Amino acid sequence: MSFCRRLPILVLLLMATVTSPAQQTDSKHGALLAIIIDDLGNTRLEGERVAALPGPVACSVLPQTAFCGLLAERCRCAGKEILLHLPMQPDDPATDPGPGALMSGQSRDTLRDLLRDGMDDLPGVTGINNHMGSLLTRHAAYMNWLMEDLSEQDNALFIDSMTTPHSKALSIARDYGVATTRRDLFIDNDPTPEGVRKQWQLLLQTVQREGSALAIGHPRDATLDVLEAELERLESHGIILTGVGELVRFRQGETTRWQEFSSR
């Protein structure tokens, strides 16, 4: 059972939808960058700071946390995409992934209930990404169960946080027709101000080189300081900040950077 106060749920269509047919991509109009901030729900002030970030930064909220419903609603009202940051079993048995976690040994029904309860507690949820999961995402049976259930949710995304290079989650999501992609970089794997700034520069280089990138960060002071200062400067670098759903559609060939740029 969830410990969050249940709020009325408004299931949103994916943010920044572009429905016109794909055209030839013109790379001079900018590369696409999507950003997810993980681990929301335990602290209110940091979560509200994330909700106030400029642009379509996605907010990934942990289930059964003190402020999960409140912060999901705040982020939704700010026009942000909401993801369930679904805890999954890590390699280290001494590490607790937190309440609502998917763990090896759980039954099919338990996994289904944890997914449903977590998504039901977040107003406007549009999909999930994994919290930890370096063990469970390697197990095809559990990922098949998860993606089968997720495929029954309207327009639900799965973002593989790639906590292990051996994850099977992305390929199995594709097998079930779930809209999906994977993380390219963590913004704050080194959480010091210097480390975050260095990683931000690497992210800019990556998205300019590759044409798109998905980055994940956390509600830490150094991370939010950089995002507050830099997000509105992205277009000067030829980079378009976009929603996670839009990035998934772009990577699946359903839209183009030109369409996103011209719709702004």
What are the pLDDT digits (tens) for 9-45?
A: 333 333 333 332 232 234 446 899 999 999 999 999 9
3-state SS track over the chain: CCCCCCCCCCCCCCCCCCCCCCCCCCHHHCEEEEEEEEEECCCHHHHHHHHCCCCCCEEEECCCCCCHHHHHHHHHHCCCCEEEEEEECCCCCCCCCCCCCECCCCCHHHHHHHHHHHHHCCCCEEEEEEEECCCHHHCHHHHHHHHHHHHCCCCCEEEECCCCCCCCHHHHHHHCCCEEEECCEECCCCCCHHHHHHHHHHHHHHHHHHCEEEEEECCCHHHHHHHHHHHHHHHHHCEEECCHHHHHHHHCCCCCHHHHHHCC
69-78, 82-91, 253-262: the lowest-pLDDT one: 253-262
pLDDT exceeds cutoff 60 at 262? no
Residue 29: predicted pLDDT: 60
What are the pLDDT digits (tens) for 196-250?
A: 999 999 999 999 999 999 999 999 999 999 999 999 999 999 999 999 999 999 9
CA distances from 168 to 14, 98, 172, 237, 262 (A): 25, 22, 6, 34, 36
Residue ranges of domains in the chain: 31-262
pLDDT exceeds cutoff 80 at 255? no
Confidence of residue 4 (pLDDT cuts 50, 70, 90): very low
Token pair for 25: 């991509």
Token pair for 10: 């408004």
Q: pTM for the full model?
A: 0.86
Average pLDDT over residues 47-62: 98
The fold adopted by the segment(s) 31-262 is TIM Barrel (3.20.20)
Q: Which amino acid is at 192?
A: T
Residue 250: predicted pLDDT: 95
Mean pLDDT of the chain: 88
23-27, 104-108, 171-175: the lowest-pLDDT one: 23-27
Token pair for 139: 């197990």
Average pLDDT over residues 158-164: 98
Average pLDDT over residues 55-63: 98
Token pair for 150: 């997720």
